[in-house]
Amino acid sequence: MIKKLLCCAVLFLLSLQPAGAMQTGWNKKESRHFIVFYWNAEKSFAKKVIKESEKNYRDIVKSLGLGSGKWTGENRAKVYIFDDRQQFHSNTSQPEWSDGSSIQRFKTIYSFFGAKNFFDTVLPHEIAHIVFREYVGFSNRAVPAWLEEGLASYYERIDKAKADEFFKDLQKNNSDPVFIISLRELSKIRSRSLRDDPDVDIFFAQSLSIVNFLLTEFGKERFRIFCRSLKEGMDMDRSLAAAYSFKDVNELEIAWQEYLKQRLSLR
Protein backbone atom coordinates (compact mmCIF):
# COMPACT_ATOMS: atom_id res chain seq x y z
CA MET A 1 0.00 0.00 0.00
CA ILE A 2 2.66 2.49 1.06
CA LYS A 3 4.89 1.44 -1.80
CA LYS A 4 2.17 2.45 -4.24
CA LEU A 5 1.49 5.73 -2.45
CA LEU A 6 5.14 6.67 -2.20
CA CYS A 7 6.43 5.04 -5.35
CA CYS A 8 7.77 8.32 -6.66
CA ALA A 9 10.64 8.28 -4.19
CA VAL A 10 14.16 9.18 -5.26
CA LEU A 11 16.31 6.19 -4.42
CA PHE A 12 19.80 7.22 -5.48
CA LEU A 13 21.75 9.97 -7.22
CA LEU A 14 22.75 9.03 -10.74
CA SER A 15 26.23 10.11 -11.71
CA LEU A 16 25.26 10.79 -15.32
CA GLN A 17 22.20 12.02 -17.16
CA PRO A 18 20.00 9.13 -18.43
CA ALA A 19 20.77 8.32 -22.04
CA GLY A 20 17.31 9.34 -23.24
CA ALA A 21 17.70 12.79 -21.75
CA MET A 22 20.75 13.38 -23.93
CA GLN A 23 18.92 12.57 -27.15
CA THR A 24 17.66 15.28 -29.48
CA GLY A 25 14.13 15.79 -30.71
CA TRP A 26 12.51 16.70 -27.42
CA ASN A 27 9.59 19.08 -27.49
CA LYS A 28 9.70 21.57 -24.65
CA LYS A 29 7.55 23.95 -22.64
CA GLU A 30 9.11 26.71 -20.57
CA SER A 31 8.19 28.89 -17.60
CA ARG A 32 10.03 31.12 -15.14
CA HIS A 33 11.43 28.28 -13.03
CA PHE A 34 10.97 25.13 -15.15
CA ILE A 35 11.58 23.60 -18.57
CA VAL A 36 9.50 20.54 -19.44
CA PHE A 37 10.89 18.18 -22.09
CA TYR A 38 8.59 15.63 -23.71
CA TRP A 39 8.31 13.53 -26.85
CA ASN A 40 4.82 12.29 -27.65
CA ALA A 41 2.87 13.32 -24.55
CA GLU A 42 -0.06 15.59 -25.21
CA LYS A 43 0.72 19.31 -25.29
CA SER A 44 -2.02 19.90 -22.74
CA PHE A 45 -0.23 17.53 -20.38
CA ALA A 46 3.06 19.41 -20.78
CA LYS A 47 1.24 22.67 -20.12
CA LYS A 48 -0.25 21.24 -16.93
CA VAL A 49 3.19 19.98 -15.84
CA ILE A 50 4.50 23.55 -16.12
CA LYS A 51 1.54 24.98 -14.21
CA GLU A 52 1.70 22.40 -11.41
CA SER A 53 5.48 22.60 -11.16
CA GLU A 54 5.35 26.35 -10.59
CA LYS A 55 2.59 25.93 -8.02
CA ASN A 56 4.44 23.19 -6.14
CA TYR A 57 7.66 25.19 -6.16
CA ARG A 58 5.97 28.29 -4.75
CA ASP A 59 4.02 26.33 -2.13
CA ILE A 60 7.01 24.31 -0.91
CA VAL A 61 9.39 27.28 -0.70
CA LYS A 62 6.77 29.37 1.11
CA SER A 63 5.77 26.54 3.45
CA LEU A 64 9.31 25.57 4.44
CA GLY A 65 10.56 29.15 4.53
CA LEU A 66 14.05 27.89 3.79
CA GLY A 67 14.70 30.17 0.88
CA SER A 68 15.80 28.90 -2.50
CA GLY A 69 18.73 29.34 -4.80
CA LYS A 70 18.71 30.47 -8.38
CA TRP A 71 15.83 28.89 -10.32
CA THR A 72 15.70 31.19 -13.34
CA GLY A 73 17.40 31.31 -16.73
CA GLU A 74 19.98 28.55 -17.09
CA ASN A 75 19.31 27.47 -13.49
CA ARG A 76 15.70 26.45 -14.12
CA ALA A 77 14.68 22.95 -13.10
CA LYS A 78 14.20 20.46 -15.93
CA VAL A 79 11.40 17.89 -16.07
CA TYR A 80 11.78 15.04 -18.58
CA ILE A 81 8.62 13.15 -19.48
CA PHE A 82 9.29 9.85 -21.23
CA ASP A 83 6.55 8.33 -23.37
CA ASP A 84 5.82 5.34 -21.14
CA ARG A 85 6.96 3.29 -18.16
CA GLN A 86 9.26 1.03 -20.18
CA GLN A 87 11.07 3.97 -21.74
CA PHE A 88 11.45 5.61 -18.33
CA HIS A 89 12.90 2.51 -16.68
CA SER A 90 15.23 1.65 -19.55
CA ASN A 91 16.69 5.16 -19.45
CA THR A 92 16.91 5.67 -15.68
CA SER A 93 17.48 2.14 -14.31
CA GLN A 94 14.98 2.84 -11.55
CA PRO A 95 13.32 -0.11 -9.75
CA GLU A 96 10.08 -1.35 -11.27
CA TRP A 97 7.93 0.17 -8.53
CA SER A 98 9.27 3.70 -9.12
CA ASP A 99 7.26 6.22 -11.14
CA GLY A 100 9.76 9.06 -10.89
CA SER A 101 13.29 10.06 -9.96
CA SER A 102 15.49 13.11 -9.79
CA ILE A 103 19.07 14.27 -9.73
CA GLN A 104 18.84 17.06 -7.18
CA ARG A 105 22.23 18.58 -7.89
CA PHE A 106 21.21 19.17 -11.52
CA LYS A 107 17.61 20.16 -10.66
CA THR A 108 16.42 17.44 -13.02
CA ILE A 109 13.30 15.29 -12.69
CA TYR A 110 12.37 12.19 -14.70
CA SER A 111 8.99 10.52 -15.07
CA PHE A 112 6.71 9.30 -17.84
CA PHE A 113 3.36 10.04 -19.44
CA GLY A 114 0.72 8.04 -17.62
CA ALA A 115 2.57 7.74 -14.31
CA LYS A 116 0.03 7.01 -11.60
CA ASN A 117 -0.88 10.03 -9.47
CA PHE A 118 1.83 12.04 -11.20
CA PHE A 119 0.50 15.46 -10.17
CA ASP A 120 -0.39 14.43 -6.62
CA THR A 121 2.70 12.42 -5.71
CA VAL A 122 5.55 12.22 -8.21
CA LEU A 123 5.89 15.90 -9.11
CA PRO A 124 5.59 17.52 -5.65
CA HIS A 125 7.79 14.80 -4.15
CA GLU A 126 10.67 15.39 -6.56
CA ILE A 127 10.44 19.19 -6.38
CA ALA A 128 10.55 19.00 -2.57
CA HIS A 129 13.68 16.85 -2.85
CA ILE A 130 15.43 19.52 -4.91
CA VAL A 131 14.33 22.50 -2.79
CA PHE A 132 15.37 20.80 0.45
CA ARG A 133 18.72 19.48 -0.80
CA GLU A 134 19.61 22.79 -2.39
CA TYR A 135 19.09 24.45 1.00
CA VAL A 136 20.91 22.01 3.31
CA GLY A 137 23.64 21.18 0.80
CA PHE A 138 23.80 18.56 -1.92
CA SER A 139 26.78 16.85 -0.28
CA ASN A 140 25.71 17.32 3.34
CA ARG A 141 26.32 13.91 4.93
CA ALA A 142 24.63 14.96 8.17
CA VAL A 143 21.25 14.75 6.41
CA PRO A 144 19.88 11.19 6.64
CA ALA A 145 17.83 9.66 3.84
CA TRP A 146 14.82 9.27 6.16
CA LEU A 147 14.63 13.04 6.69
CA GLU A 148 14.90 13.85 3.00
CA GLU A 149 12.46 11.15 1.88
CA GLY A 150 10.06 11.86 4.72
CA LEU A 151 9.93 15.56 3.87
CA ALA A 152 9.48 14.89 0.15
CA SER A 153 6.64 12.49 0.96
CA TYR A 154 5.11 15.08 3.31
CA TYR A 155 4.52 17.38 0.34
CA GLU A 156 2.71 14.73 -1.65
CA ARG A 157 -1.04 15.22 -1.77
CA ILE A 158 -1.83 12.10 0.23
CA ASP A 159 -3.41 11.36 3.57
CA LYS A 160 -0.45 11.50 5.97
CA ALA A 161 -2.31 9.21 8.38
CA LYS A 162 -1.84 6.33 5.93
CA ALA A 163 1.81 6.12 6.97
CA ASP A 164 0.76 5.63 10.61
CA GLU A 165 -1.94 3.15 9.61
CA PHE A 166 0.73 1.13 7.84
CA PHE A 167 2.25 0.29 11.21
CA LYS A 168 -1.13 -0.68 12.59
CA ASP A 169 -1.55 -3.13 9.70
CA LEU A 170 1.90 -4.54 10.41
CA GLN A 171 1.04 -5.04 14.05
CA LYS A 172 -2.00 -7.12 13.16
CA ASN A 173 0.10 -9.57 11.16
CA ASN A 174 3.39 -9.54 13.05
CA SER A 175 4.30 -10.59 16.54
CA ASP A 176 7.40 -8.37 16.50
CA PRO A 177 7.28 -4.82 17.92
CA VAL A 178 5.54 -2.33 15.67
CA PHE A 179 8.53 0.02 15.62
CA ILE A 180 10.55 -1.95 13.13
CA ILE A 181 13.69 0.14 12.59
CA SER A 182 15.43 2.04 15.38
CA LEU A 183 16.07 5.66 14.46
CA ARG A 184 19.83 5.17 14.85
CA GLU A 185 19.65 2.33 12.33
CA LEU A 186 17.24 4.27 10.12
CA SER A 187 19.76 7.12 10.01
CA LYS A 188 22.42 4.79 8.63
CA ILE A 189 20.36 3.88 5.58
CA ARG A 190 21.51 5.69 2.47
CA SER A 191 19.44 6.38 -0.62
CA ARG A 192 21.52 4.10 -2.83
CA SER A 193 20.76 1.05 -0.68
CA LEU A 194 16.99 1.43 -0.89
CA ARG A 195 16.37 0.30 -4.44
CA ASP A 196 16.46 -3.42 -3.58
CA ASP A 197 15.77 -3.26 0.16
CA PRO A 198 12.91 -5.60 1.19
CA ASP A 199 12.02 -3.18 3.99
CA VAL A 200 11.57 -0.22 1.64
CA ASP A 201 7.86 0.09 2.57
CA ILE A 202 8.72 0.31 6.25
CA PHE A 203 11.46 2.85 5.56
CA PHE A 204 9.17 5.24 3.69
CA ALA A 205 6.25 4.87 6.08
CA GLN A 206 8.45 5.48 9.10
CA SER A 207 10.24 8.41 7.46
CA LEU A 208 6.97 10.16 6.59
CA SER A 209 5.51 9.48 10.02
CA ILE A 210 8.50 11.00 11.84
CA VAL A 211 8.61 14.12 9.64
CA ASN A 212 4.85 14.53 9.99
CA PHE A 213 5.29 14.27 13.78
CA LEU A 214 7.93 17.01 13.82
CA LEU A 215 5.93 19.38 11.63
CA THR A 216 2.46 18.87 13.12
CA GLU A 217 3.43 18.65 16.79
CA PHE A 218 6.09 21.35 16.91
CA GLY A 219 5.43 23.60 13.92
CA LYS A 220 7.39 24.78 10.93
CA GLU A 221 9.50 27.39 12.73
CA ARG A 222 11.26 24.78 14.83
CA PHE A 223 11.68 22.62 11.75
CA ARG A 224 13.34 25.55 9.97
CA ILE A 225 15.77 25.95 12.89
CA PHE A 226 16.49 22.23 12.68
CA CYS A 227 17.21 22.44 8.94
CA ARG A 228 19.28 25.60 9.33
CA SER A 229 21.43 23.87 11.94
CA LEU A 230 22.07 21.00 9.53
CA LYS A 231 22.90 23.52 6.81
CA GLU A 232 25.40 25.24 9.11
CA GLY A 233 27.30 22.01 9.67
CA MET A 234 25.88 20.61 12.89
CA ASP A 235 25.35 16.86 13.15
CA MET A 236 21.89 15.33 13.59
CA ASP A 237 21.94 15.22 17.40
CA ARG A 238 23.07 18.83 17.82
CA SER A 239 20.63 20.03 15.16
CA LEU A 240 17.75 18.34 16.97
CA ALA A 241 18.84 19.84 20.30
CA ALA A 242 19.03 23.31 18.72
CA ALA A 243 15.39 23.18 17.65
CA TYR A 244 13.61 20.76 19.99
CA SER A 245 13.71 19.41 23.52
CA PHE A 246 15.33 16.19 22.26
CA LYS A 247 19.03 15.95 23.00
CA ASP A 248 19.54 13.29 20.34
CA VAL A 249 17.81 10.93 17.92
CA ASN A 250 17.14 8.44 20.72
CA GLU A 251 14.91 10.93 22.50
CA LEU A 252 13.23 11.83 19.21
CA GLU A 253 12.49 8.14 18.67
CA ILE A 254 10.93 7.77 22.14
CA ALA A 255 8.72 10.84 21.58
CA TRP A 256 7.69 9.69 18.08
CA GLN A 257 6.83 6.21 19.31
CA GLU A 258 4.60 7.64 22.04
CA TYR A 259 2.94 9.92 19.49
CA LEU A 260 2.31 6.98 17.16
CA LYS A 261 0.89 4.84 19.97
CA GLN A 262 -1.57 7.57 20.81
CA ARG A 263 -2.50 8.05 17.18
CA LEU A 264 -3.21 4.40 16.72
CA SER A 265 -4.57 3.77 20.22
CA LEU A 266 -1.92 1.12 20.77
CA ARG A 267 -1.28 -0.13 24.31
What pLDDT was estimated at residue 208?
94
Q: Which helix (H) or strand (E) holds 77?
A: strand 77-82
Q: What is the DSSP letter of 119?
A: I
Let me know if residue 50 belongs to a domain: yes
pLDDT of residue 164: 76
- Residue 193 is predicted with a pLDDT of 64
Indicate if 255 and 168 belong to the same structural domain: yes
Same domain? 128 vs 202 = no
Spatial strand order in the sheet of 101-103: 27-30, 34-38, 77-82, 108-112, 101-103
pTM above 0.85, yes or no: yes
pLDDT of amino acid 19: 53
Last residue of one domain, picked from the residues 119, 136, 153: 136
pLDDT at 167: 75
DSSP string, 210-247: HHHHHHHHH-HHHHHHHHHHHHTT--HHHHHHHHSS-S
Note whether 53 and 120 are same-domain residues: yes
For residues 100 and 187, membership in a common domain is answered with no
In a domain, 3, yes or no: no
Q: Does residue 2 lie within any of the structural domains?
A: no
| Same structural domain, 113 and 174 | no
Q: Which domain holds residue 153?
A: 145-264
CA torsion angle for 118, 102, 56, 87 (degrees, to 10)?
-30
pLDDT in tens, the chain (267 residues): 444 434 444 333 333 455 555 567 899 999 999 999 999 999 999 999 999 999 999 999 999 887 777 899 999 999 999 999 999 999 998 888 889 999 999 999 999 999 999 999 999 999 999 999 999 999 999 999 999 999 999 999 988 777 777 777 776 666 554 556 889 999 988 876 666 555 788 888 899 999 999 999 999 999 999 999 999 999 999 999 999 999 999 999 999 989 988 887 754
Residue 206 sits at the vertex; the CA angle it makes with 182 and 253, to the nearest 5 degrees, is 40
- Does residue 149 fall inside a structural domain? yes
Q: What are the residues whose beta carbons fall under 8 Å from the beta carbon of 202, sequence distance 6 or more? A: 166, 170, 180, 181
Confirm if 127 and 176 have CB atoms less than 8 A apart. no
Looking at residue 162, its pLDDT comes to 76
Domain boundary pick from 136, 166, 189:
136
| Claim to verify: residue 52 and residue 108 sit in the same structural domain | yes
Co-location of 17 and 127 in the same domain:
yes
pLDDT of residue 6: 40
Residue 19, in any domain of the structure: yes
Query: Residue 1: inside a domain, yes or no?
Result: no
> Is residue 218 included in any domain, yes or no?
yes
Residue 14 lies in a domain: yes
198, 95: one domain: no
Instruction: Note whether 25 and 39 are within 8 A (CB).
Output: yes
Q: In sequence order, which residues have a C-beta less than 8 Å from that of residue 79 and are 6 or more positions away?
A: 34, 35, 36, 37, 49, 53, 108, 109, 110, 111, 123
Boundary-marking domain end, from 136, 170, 191: 136
Same domain, 16 and 131: yes
pLDDT in the model for residue 14: 38
Q: Are residues 15 and 90 in the same domain?
A: yes
Q: Are residues 212 and 167 in the same domain?
A: yes
- Number of separate domains in the chain: 2
Which CATH number is 36's domain given? Answer: 3.40.30.160
CB 127 within 8 A of CB 109: yes
257 and 160 within one domain: yes
